[in-house]
Amino acid sequence: EVQLVQSGAEVKKPGESLKISCKGSGYSFTNYWIGWVRQMSGKGLEWMGIINPDDSDTRYSPSFQGQVTISVDKSISTAYLQWGSLKASDTAMYYCARGGEYSSSPLFYWGQGTLVTVSS
């Protein structure tokens, strides 16, 4: 069974750094792209970027380029989303999802989400 298990909820202060994780299991981790999607409270889905776990090729949405970093450690089948300096506007639910063999493939399997709260 394909599973994506995300790290737990985080409460941070503005200016702090953060790295959340997404561990894949039940499939060949390096064969499928993994994407990240933001959902602010009561709002829609926003595609942030996607990474190829095999070679770390990464594509970012123009809206998130330079704002976050997507990475992967294929030795432990885990993808990451990180911020260098959080802002209150980063408060949201973040989902990781497994794509297909191409960066343009749809997101077939989703993690449970990680709620990030940034507040002073």
Partner 1 sequence: QSVLTQPPSASGTPGQRVTISCSGSSSNIGSNYVYWYQQLPGTAPKLLIYRNNQRPSGVPDRFSGSKSGTSASLAISGLRSEDEANYYCAAWDDSLSGHVVFGGGTKLTVL
List interacting residues with partner 1 (CB under 8 A). 35, 37, 44-47, 49-50, 59-62, 95, 97, 103-104, 106-108, 110-113
Q: Is 113 left (phi over 0), alpha (psi -120 to 50) or beta?
A: left
CB closer to partner 1 out of 13 and 108:
108
CB closer to partner 1 out of 23 and 59:
59
Rounded to the nearest 5°, which phi and psi values hold at 23? -100, 125
Query: What is the rounded CA–CA span in Å between residue 118 and residue 84?
Result: 13
CB closer to partner 1 out of 35 and 53:
35
Tokens of 115: 């709620």
CB 8 within 8 A of CB 21: no
Q: Minimal distance in Å, beta carbon 119 to partner 1? A: 22
Burial of 89 (0-12, 13-18, 19+ CB in 10 A): exposed
CB closer to partner 1 out of 50 and 92:
50
Q: Minimal distance in Å, beta carbon 88 to partner 1? A: 21
Query: What is the rounded CA–CA span in Å between residue 103 and residue 93?
Result: 22
Q: Minimal distance in Å, beta carbon 107 to partner 1? A: 6
Q: Minimal distance in Å, beta carbon 113 to partner 1? A: 6
